[in-house]
Chain A
Amino acid sequence: MSWLSMVWAQTRLNQTVLLRMRGMAFSVLLLPLFLAFSFTSGPQAEIAIDGVPGSVFAAVGAIAVVFPFSYMTIATSIVVRREERIYKRLRGTALPTSAIFAGDVLHATLIGAAQALVILAYTMVAADVPLPANIPLLLVAFVLGAAVFAALAIGTAGFIPNYEVAQIVALPVLLLSMFGSGMVIPLHVLPEELQRPAELLPLTPIVSMLRTAFLGRDFSQDAAPQVGLFEAFQVSAASLGIALVWIGLSMWSTRKYFRWDPRRA
């Protein structure tokens, strides 16, 4: 019984359980697709942003909408299993705790990857987005996004008392991610005093890495000049740094606040 097969067993179990919870399955599986389509098909799509058609700019960012939903998937399932004492049962088996975490993360990431592919295909057809310019950077950005939001989910689960609160917490995470990350509206449209904090939000670096990877341009500079394969990685260094800080903070919070058992009465 290898570690990987245990992780895969957890992943499969998570997927079966998710499909049985109809309401949750709808939010997690279909809502991100719906949001992504709506971002890319408004009237604003005609306006050019940094020399890129608005529809293309939004379409590329829309891929990032899968990450806040990963957050919701993971955080909710941690809280439900803790409060219903399913964790206590799981931890009484031969499963290592690392396999439980890894199964959660893999489960949410596979869903996110499938959704990202659907959004990608849709945007290329409907919004006329070109083929990604820098596939290695695209993959790095995706994996990093999945890691940041999985870490955030695990790191904040200790503060969430129950399923209802988990649903409520997911909402501001989703809204901040949508409107503060440059996904839907470019950050320079925001009021001056909000721009700097918005740059530090967890999804912002992922969105800008995705755009750079996709369109091969550096959007942090005026007029967004073209960048080559390696240059694209260089200009993404700051984004990478911000993402790693979020992962670090989440790991610290996990160590300090994560709990396997409901709080004692």
Chain B
Amino acid sequence: MNETAIEVRNLHQSYGDFEAVRGIGFEVARGELYALLGTNGAGKTTTLDVLEGYHPPTKGEVRILGHDPVAERDAVRHRMGIVLQEAGFYKDLTVGETVAAWRRWTRDALETREALGKVGLEHREKVRVGQLSGGERRRLDLALAVLGRPEVLFLDEPTTGLDPEARRNVWELIRGMLADGVTVLLTTHYLDEAEQLAQRLAIMHQGRIVTEGVLADVLASRGTRITFRLPGFAGSDLPYAPGLARRSVVVNGDAFTVETDEPQEDLRLLLDWAHGRRLELGGLEVRRPTLEEVFLDVAQTEGVAA
């Protein structure tokens, strides 16, 4: 059995003159959750469109469960579940009627109540889709996506517009699918979502993957941050000898941010220095960088480079 569920090699995708995806590649193993992060227009949805078989790639190759999703659609379509970023429903049908209609062309489909139960919509079965809240519609999206017991699930910003509780419910559903061995490709611009769910992730920017790897590695590519407030001092007053690798001191007014690969040593130096001068370091904090900081960093660097 093929252990790679999703393969993308040198994928390019253009619309007219605009190249939305400019040569990306990654692999997702069976049972893994891989997150694609990026700002709007980074090329995430375009990438998903190709993987889901809506368009053949302009250049490059994609394989889902070992098959070409366009040329071998019949071999894979029924093994995929898709939550699109934006897709309509027949508003005048009820929730139950919608799932029942979808079941008619879904192989080995879940029972209607079972599918609705998975997303917590059983009590809304008789309600017209047009009357659902945004969050409930999103859950109906998910119910339809998991209806055919998919092996690969594509989720394009599945929790956008959901309240915190509904988001956590969706995360639980996704974790449940992962536990059942489903492969998930998730796009999101909520970084905590990727931190919660993803084993591996890639950050896309302007059609390219700029950072990729397991979460810990992506975060490790940036140092630990020591932040504090100290009025009346400059960065050069701090007790740090120049020439240390991977260290930066950024001062913004009285707010200091020290980025370091040796947090314990640098913190000791700083505290000794402050203690000797009877200085109070306001709001002292030591923490790992968040994905958000990595992300903004990437967007900024790339923005400048472009």
Contacts and interface: CB of A to CB of B under 8 A. Distances in A.
Interface of A: 1, 5-6, 9-10, 12-13, 16-17, 20-21, 81, 84-86, 88-89, 91-96, 99, 264
16 contacts: A5-B104, A5-B105, A6-B104, A13-B101, A16-B93, A16-B101, A17-B92, A20-B92, A86-B90, A88-B88, A89-B84, A89-B87, A91-B54, A92-B87, A93-B148, A96-B73
Contact of A88 (B73, B74, B84, B92): B84
Contacts of B148: 93-94
B10 to A, nearest CB: 25
B237 interface: no
B88 A84 contact: yes
A85 B105 contact: no
Nearest to A86: B88
B97 A16 contact: yes
A5 to B, nearest CB: 7
A1 B148 CA distance: 12
Contacts of A13: 90, 101, 104
B107 interface: yes
Interface residues of B, number: 25
A28 to B, nearest CB: 15
Interface of B: 15, 52, 54, 73-74, 77-78, 82, 84, 86-90, 92-93, 97, 101-102, 104-107, 144, 148
A86 B84 CA distance: 11
Nearest to A10: B105
A208 to B, nearest CB: 39
Contact of A17 (B54, B93, B102): B93
A9 B93 contact: no
A89 B107 contact: no
Given A92-B82, A94-B148, A86 B105 contact: no
B107 A94 contact: yes
Nearest to A80: B88
Given A88-B87, A89-B84, A94-B78, A9 B104 contact: yes
B38 to A, nearest CB: 19
A85 B54 contact: no
A102 B65 CA distance: 29
Contacts of B93: 16-17, 20
A246 to B, nearest CB: 31
Given A85-B87, A85-B88, A88-B87, A264 B102 contact: no
Contacts of B144: 89
A81 B106 CA distance: 20
A8 B123 CA distance: 29
Contact of A94 (B77, B86, B89): B77
A110 B88 CA distance: 26
Contacts of A86: 87-90
Nearest to B147: A93
Nearest to B88: A84
Contacts of B90: 13, 17, 20, 86
Nearest to A93: B105
B77 A81 contact: no
A99 B84 CA distance: 21
B84 A9 contact: no
A85 B107 CA distance: 23
A6 to B, nearest CB: 5
Contacts of A94: 77-78, 105-107, 148
A85 B106 CA distance: 20
Contacts of B106: 1, 93-94
Nearest to B15: A264
A5 B107 CA distance: 12
Contacts of A96: 73-74
Given A20-B92, A94-B77, A9 B87 contact: no
B137 to A, nearest CB: 12
A264 B101 CA distance: 29
Nearest to B145: A92
Given A93-B102, A93-B105, 20 more contacts: A1-B105, A1-B106, A5-B104, A6-B104, A9-B104, A10-B105, A12-B104, A13-B104, A20-B93, A81-B88, A84-B88, A86-B87, A86-B89, A88-B54, A88-B88, A92-B54, A94-B78, A94-B107, A99-B105, A264-B15
A9 B101 contact: yes
Nearest to B102: A93
B64 to A, nearest CB: 13
A99 B73 CA distance: 14
A250 to B, nearest CB: 24
Contacts of A9: 101, 104-105
Given A16-B93, A16-B97, A86-B90, A92 B105 contact: no
B107 A1 contact: yes
A10 B89 CA distance: 14
Most buried by B among A10, A20, A86, A89: A89
